[in-house]
Amino acid sequence: MITLIVLVLAVLTALQLIRIFELSSKARKTAEYVVTDRDNNNQGWLMLLFGIGFIAAFFWMLFTWLPVTLPKPASEHGVDYDNLMEISMLVIIAMFLVVQPILFYFAWKYRGAKDRKATYYEHNNRLEFIWTIVPALVLAVLIIYGMTTWSNVMNPKNEQEPLVIEVYAQQFKWTARYAGKDNQLGYANVRLIKDANVIGVDTLDTQAADDQITTEIHLPVGRPVLFRFRSQDVIHSAYFPHFRAQMNCVPGMTTQFQFTPTVTTAEMRQDPEVQAKVARINKIRGEKGLEAYAYDYVLLCNKICGSAHYNMQMNIVVESEEEYAKWLAEQKTVAETL
Amino acid sequence: MADHAHDHAHDHAHDDHHDHEHHVDNFWTKYVFSIDHKMIAKQFLVTGMFMGIIGVFMSMLFRLQLAWPGESFPILETFLGKWAPDGVMDPNMYLALVTIHGTIMVFFVLTAGLSGTFSNLLIPLQIGARDMASGFLNMISYWFFAASSAVMVISLFVETGPASGGWTVYPPLSALPQAMPGSGAGMTLWLVSMTLFIAGSLIGSLNYIVTVINLRTKGMSMTRLPLTIWAFLVTAILGVLSFPVLLSAALLLVFDRSMGTSFYLSDIMVVGEMLTNQGGSPILFEHLFWFLGHPEVYIILLPALGITSEVIATNSRKPIFGYRAMIGSILAIAFLSFIVWGHHMFVTGMNPFLGSVFTFTTLLIAIPSAVKAFNYITTLWKGNIQFTPAMLFSIGLVSTFVAGGLTGIILGDSALDINVHDTYFVVAHFHIVMGLSAIFGMFAGVYHWFPKMYGRMMNKSMGYLHFWLTFVSAYGVFFPMHFTGLAGLPRRYYSNAEFPIFDELQDINVIITMFAIGGGIAQLIFIFNFFYSMWRGPKAPQNPWNSNTLEWTTPVEHLHGNWPGAIPEVHRWAYDYSKPGHDEDFVPQNTPLKDGEQAH
């Protein structure tokens, strides 16, 4: 009832305001829609003000929010990735800082006035040639640099045989399968899923016997790891942001991605940048009464996969070769469990 | 009005083939089943605005959830009912909202609402034609769109909820009703709606192409066309070439869903049920989808750029700088848009070599885009800028086009895409470069051509207020998302509270939501201004912006056939603003050349 009264009053007020507005615009000499010199002046100044504010806001955000972005990469190719990212970012930020101020400056500088006459200036081939060729040259550099990095990431040269790990995705959890002593994954297919054989390993395949199925990923530092991805139901994406790695898990096929972890979880927790980040996070968590957080690598799902897509995660631990060997020895083999 | 047109049709029967039949428009033929392109344009606009209100409102709802995950908002229960028990949004409803928001904004607002409105309104008026090549097909095109909109709106109310697998509807998620509730009846209706939409879009596009090629008035050579028409023509060609591919993708998806085929499905066990499908590949769908999906970006963007070219030239009182380079860049962008779709699929498991190819073609697009941006800015240089609301939005478009386009250099690079793919960095990029630019182009178009559409003027002060609130909140919403994306935050997450690493992003999310709600509410100013001015705005003069193009030579009162007398003949290009040797700072296209004046 009160809502209704408020609504009625609001409508009545609005109608009165419109009437006042209409009467006042009738009294005016020039029509309301005509852009006057005063409008041009006001809007021109607003443009300049916005331009300055925009650039100031940009630097404020950079200063305030750069620390919340991902810390240093924890993989070998991640360093190349970050270099390429930094160079590309510098190029686009430079362009941004040149073009945006010019745009808003021109809008202010050439704001209209009755006594001003615009310059008839149709085209200038040399100018247009310059701003075709300069972006082309800059892009050529970025394209070559990008393609080289991509090629290195996707076709790594292996001096030592990579450790093979299968990452298996299903709504809404991850499972890992280590290839065991032979470093060969046994055949698997979702059609073979039965009872305890939850990811469909072919128990008749001799290479499968030593495979180890785990609920956490442990990686030895400094050793290349070849991840092979499968999905049980819909498309998922295995996203390892700390390692600058990502690959979709597609039902009906196997995909892969290889990287070499270079920083152990323990070392990462000692990094000053990470410690500052963890301190900030724990301050927030403390205020909310949540348990304290220690920095961990994590695997996320990054392709919409259903209602609990937002909470499909697995912990990743990077550790020394010895710690890794100890942990792996504790994991049961397929021969033992199935 | 009909009588008026009729009289003139008799007076000029020799050059008017349009209105020979004796008929009086009644309510139905005038407002509903109209075959007049101007009325159809208004139908597209109002339907697009209606869908836009739904789409923007949805984004405000899911932004509430993102800023304060799991908190109770009574407004959510009011609008979402059982999907927000006690005012807390259900995760499935969150996904449904982002899916339908994307679908509505991309297709219904920025494709049909933008292209449909302004191609229809401006093609015949600016090339000097009495109407579209086929008025009947034009009407059919709108009604397919209207039916498609109706089905999409109906899909919001089905028991299992609307489609919720993301606007890209990747199978198997979208193919399997077991995988999520939204993949049931909601998804079926989504596919029906999109099929109708594509049919309407194809009919419309063919009509636009034929009209531009065949019905230009005397003297209107292709190199005298306003850039709006060039943009609409190329957009229509893109649509005709790419939408059928989406249609085939959708039909195969229908087969997989309803008839047991396996185009996209293989070796799947979902919710404990082993499916018999064998041999298909979801990657096939991704290829087909993005073969439309990428040109679609330019189907959305090019009309907005065309409108901006026209508005910036008119209101700078200067010729558009580098007219031929502008046409060249439109064509280059259109051509390249067909060979870059793979940049949406760098991490899908596609052959890495293809990644290199698509990186190369994708980054090339930056060159014609840069040319366009520089040419806009040079058009402002030494101009006499008249800040109409349309001009403000056009300058806003140049700003967002540059800000959003630059991050494309990051995302188009396969190596860099690895870690930012599907994060908020992508959300920031495409909303700024495509969403904001296109919607700003659409606002510019509405403010600029409102007098042509409704014969009345929109209120300038409300336009100014609308622009500044929209512009500031738009950047306030999308600029911070670059940072959450670089922090590794994936898009389409119902909540990021499950990952402690994202805890420090919550403040940013709150800021984004504040701007989103503010920006959304600011659109009420526009809606009020639009409908108020439609009925009570001051009467428009014939050529309110002192523009050169032919639409301003028609009378303010609409008449079927556009010009009461003969169709004007064109003697020059559309951009003779402030030309030396003329008294006025504009020279309409139908003004004959003076002695010794160079023709363009």
User: Using one digit for the tens of pLDDT, what is the confidence trace for B329-384?
Assistant: 999 999 999 999 999 999 998 899 999 999 999 999 999 999 999 999 999 999 99
Of B5 and B112, the one with more pLDDT: B112
SS3 A225: strand
Q: Is the pLDDT of residue B17 over 60?
A: no
Whether the Cβ atoms of residue B323 and residue A122 lie closer than 8 Å to each other? yes
Q: Which amino acid is at A30?
A: T
DSSP secondary-structure letter at A189?
A: -
Segment A39-62 shows an average pLDDT of 97
Contact at 8 Å (CB) between B320 and B309? yes
Question: B459 at the A interface (CB within 8 A)?
Answer: yes
Task: Report the number of secondary-structure helices (H) and strands (E) in chain B.
Answer: 19, 2
Q: For the residues A211-239, what does the mean pLDDT come to?
A: 96
Q: Give the closest residue to A259 by CA, choosing from A277, A275, A238.
A: A238
B267 φ/ψ sector (left φ>0, alpha ψ -120 to 50, else beta): left
Is residue B239 within 8 A of residue B294, CB to CB? The reply is no
Residue B581, Ramachandran bin (φ over 0: left; ψ between -120 and 50: alpha; else beta): left
On whether any CB of chain A is under 8 Å from the CB of B266, the answer is yes
Report residue A317: phi and psi, to 5°: -120, 125
* Whole-number pLDDT of residue B436: 97
Asked whether residue B7 carries a pLDDT value surpassing 50, the answer given is no
Choose among B387, B391, B543: nearest CA to B457: B543
**Six-digit token pair at B69?**
């995950």
B173 contact A CB<8A: yes
Homologous superfamily (CATH) of B2-18+35-553 is Cytochrome c oxidase-like, subunit I domain (1.20.210.10)
Among B400, B504, B543, B575, the residue to mutate for chain A (most A Cβ within 10 A): B504
CA distance B473 to B585: 35
pTM for this predicted structure: 0.94
Question: Which candidate from B268, B359, B483 shows the least CB-CB separation from A65?
Answer: B483
Quick count: other Cβ atoms within 10 Å of Cβ B528? 15
Candidates B88, B99, B385: best to mutate against A (most CBs of A within 10 A) is B385
* Closest chain B CA to residue A43: B387
- From the list B387, B471, B490, the residue facing A302 with the nearest CB is B490
- B27-74 pLDDT per residue, tens: 888 888 899 999 999 999 999 999 999 999 999 999 999 999 989 999
- Picking from B182, B177, B152, B151, the residue whose alpha carbon sits closest to that of residue B165 is B182
Is B370 in Cβ contact with A250 (below 8 Å)?
A: no
State the Cα–Cα distance between residues B339 and B358, nearest whole angstrom. Answer: 7
User: What's the CA gap between B574 and B492, in Å, rounded?
Assistant: 45
Q: CB-based contact (8 Å) between B182 and chain A?
A: no
At residue A155, what is the residue type? N
Question: Distance (Å, rounded) from C-alpha A269 to C-alpha A274?
Answer: 6
Report the share of chain B in percent with pLDDT over 70: 96
Contact B403/A at CB under 8 A: yes
B398 contacts on A by Cβ (under 8 Å): 103
DSSP state of A173: E
Question: CA–CA distance from B423 to each of A110, A239, A245, B489 (Å)?
Answer: 40, 10, 13, 5
| Alpha-carbon distances of B421 from A93, B282, B347, rounded to whole Å | 20, 18, 8
- Residue B434 in contact with residue B297, Cβ under 8 Å? yes
- Taking an 8 Å cut-off on Cβ atoms, the answer to whether B494 and A128 are in contact is no
Cβ separation A121–B356 shorter than 8 A: no
Instruction: Tell me the two tokens of residue B469.
Output: 């609130």
If you measure CA to CA, which chain A residue comes closest to B165?
Answer: A304
Query: Residue B380: which of A110, A135, A142 has the nearest Cβ?
Result: A110
Residue A224: pLDDT above 90? yes
Non-local (6+) Cβ contacts of B420 within 8 A are B410, B411, B426, B485, B486
Which residues is A239 bridged to in the sheet?
A: A246, A300
Q: Which residues of B284-313 are buried (b: 16+ CB within 10 A; e: fewer)?
A: ebbbbbbbbbbbbbbbbbbbbbbbbbbbbb
Residue B406 · residue A92 · CB < 8 Å: yes
Q: What is the ipTM of this complex?
A: 0.94
Residues paired with residue A245 on neighbouring β-strands, in sequence order: A240
Provide the pLDDT for residue B10.
42
Distance from chain centroid for Cα B410? 24
- Measure CB to CB from residue A118 to each of B279, B367, B577 and give the nearest one: B577
Mean residue pLDDT of chain B comes to 93
**Cβ-Cβ contacts under 8 Å, B352 against chain A:** 150-151, 154-155
State the alpha helices, DSSP H only, in B381-459. 389-411, 414-420, 424-430, 437-454
DSSP H helices in A191-299: 265-270, 272-288
Contact A305 B494 (CB under 8 A): no
Do A131 and B374 make contact, defined as CB atoms within 8 angstroms?
A: yes
d(C-alpha A59, C-alpha A46), whole Å = 20
Residues of chain B with Cβ-Cβ distance to A146 below 8 Å are 359, 363, 413-416
Q: How far apart are CA A9 and CA B180, in angstroms?
A: 45
Query: Which chain B residues are closer than 8 Å to A127 by Cβ?
Result: 378
CB contact under 8 A, A112 and B360: no
Which helix (H) or strand (E) element contains residue B590? none
Q: Is the pLDDT confidence value at B18 over 60?
A: no
Per residue in A98-146, pLDDT tens?
Answer: 999 999 999 999 999 999 999 999 889 999 999 999 999 999 999 999 9
- pLDDT per residue over B202-233, tens digit each? 999 999 999 999 999 999 999 999 999 999 99
Instruction: Give me the torsion for CA of A204, A328, A154, A184, rounded to 10°.
Output: -20
Helix (H, G, I), strand (E, B) or coil at A168: strand
Nearest CA of chain B to the CA of A42: how many Å? Answer: 9
Residue A3's pLDDT is 80
CA angle centred on A91, ends B364 and A53, rounded to 5° = 115
Helix runs in B68-134, H state only: 74-80, 91-103, 117-127
With beta carbons less than 8 A apart as the criterion, state whether B363 and A142 touch: yes
Q: What percent of chain A has pLDDT over 70?
A: 100
Mean pLDDT of B3-16: 43
Q: Which residues of A touch B506 (CB under 8 A)?
A: 284
Rg, Å, chain A Cα set: 30
Distance from CA of A312 to the nearest CA of B (A): 9
Q: How far apart are CA A153 and CA A163, in angstroms?
A: 16
CB B438 within 8 A of CB B432: no
Confidence of residue B178 (pLDDT cuts 50, 70, 90): very high
Q: Which of B102, B214, B118 lies closest to B167 in space, CA to CA? A: B102
Angle ∠(A233,A239,A243) on CA atoms, nearest 5 = 150
A212 to chain B, closest Cα gap in Å: 22
Give yes or no for B248 touching A (CB within 8 A).
no
Tokens at B282, concatenated:
């979801």
* A303 closest CA partner among B435, B405, B340, B286: B286
Taking residues B246-258, what's their average pLDDT? 95
Q: Are strands A245-249 and A236-240 parallel, antiparallel or unpaired?
A: antiparallel
Cross-chain residue pair B92–A293, CB shorter than 8 Å = no
On the question of pLDDT at A159 being above 90, the answer is no
Among B351, B374, B354, smallest CA distance to B362 is for: B354
- The answer to whether A21 and B528 have CB atoms below 8 angstroms apart is no
Tell me: the pLDDT tens digits for B33-42?
899 999 999 9
**Distance between CA atoms of residues B476 and B428, nearest Å:** 11
3-state SS assignment for residue A251: coil
* 3-state SS class at B567: coil
Band of pLDDT at residue B24, cut at 50, 70 and 90: low
Q: Say what percent of chain B tops pLDDT 90.
A: 90
B279 has pLDDT over 50: yes
Yes or no, beta carbons of B321 and A123 under 8 Å apart: yes
Query: What does the block give as tokens for A328?
Result: 């792996």
Tokens 């209207």, located at residue: B146
Residue of higher predicted confidence among B560 and B459: B459
Name residues whose C-beta falls within 8 Å of residue A225's C-beta, 6 or more positions apart in sequence. A162, A163, A164, A165, A219, A258, A259, A260, A261
Contacts of B262 in chain A (CB under 8 A): none
The angle subtended at Cα B73 by Cα B69 and Cα B75, nearest 5°, is 135
Return all residues near B553 (Cβ < 8 A) that are at least 6 apart: B542, B543, B563, B568, B588, B590
Q: So where are chain B's domains?
A: 2-18+35-553
pLDDT of residue B12: 44
| One-character DSSP codes across B325-344 | HHHHHHHHHHHHHTT-GGGG
pLDDT tens string B504-521: 999 999 999 999 999 999
List chain A domain ranges.
37-63+71-111+126-155, 163-337
Tokens 């030895």 correspond to what residue?
A: A220
Angle between helices B282-316 and B437-454 (to 10 degrees): 50
Minimum Cα–Cα distance from A195: chain B residue: B272
Q: Does A275 touch chain B (CB under 8 A)?
A: no
- Given a cut of 90, is residue B6 above it in pLDDT? no
Q: Is beta strand A217-220 parallel, antiparallel or unpaired with respect to A313-319?
A: parallel
CA nearest to A115 within chain B? B384
Residues of B (502-561) whose Cβ lies below 8 Å from A: 503-506, 508, 532, 536, 538, 544
Lowest model confidence (mean pLDDT) among B13-17, B77-81, B82-86, B514-518: B13-17
End-to-end CA distance of chain A: 67
* Token pair in block for residue A83: 């270099």
**pLDDT score of A21:** 76
CA distance B166 to A309: 12
Contact B559, B523 (CB under 8 A): no
Chain A residues close to B347, C-beta within 8 Å: 237, 246-248
Segment 136-165 of chain B within 8 Å of chain A by CB: 165
Q: For residue B19, what pLDDT is reported? A: 47
Strand order in the sheet with A225-231: A212-214, A173-178, A163-170, A225-231, A255-259
- Set of chain B residues whose Cβ sits within 8 Å of the Cβ of A99: 373, 377, 402
Q: Are residues B240 and B202 in contact, defined by beta-carbon separation less than 8 angstroms?
A: yes
Interchain proximity B504–A68, CB inside 8 Å: yes
| Mean pLDDT score, B77-98 | 94
In this predicted structure, which of A174-178, A202-206, B514-518 has the lowest mean pLDDT?
A202-206
Going by the DSSP 8-state scheme, the letter that residue B115 receives in this structure is: I
Query: What's the CATH code, domain A163-337?
Result: 2.60.40.420
Rounded Cα distance, B447 and A316, in Å:
55
Chain A residues whose CB is inside 8 A of the B102 CB are none
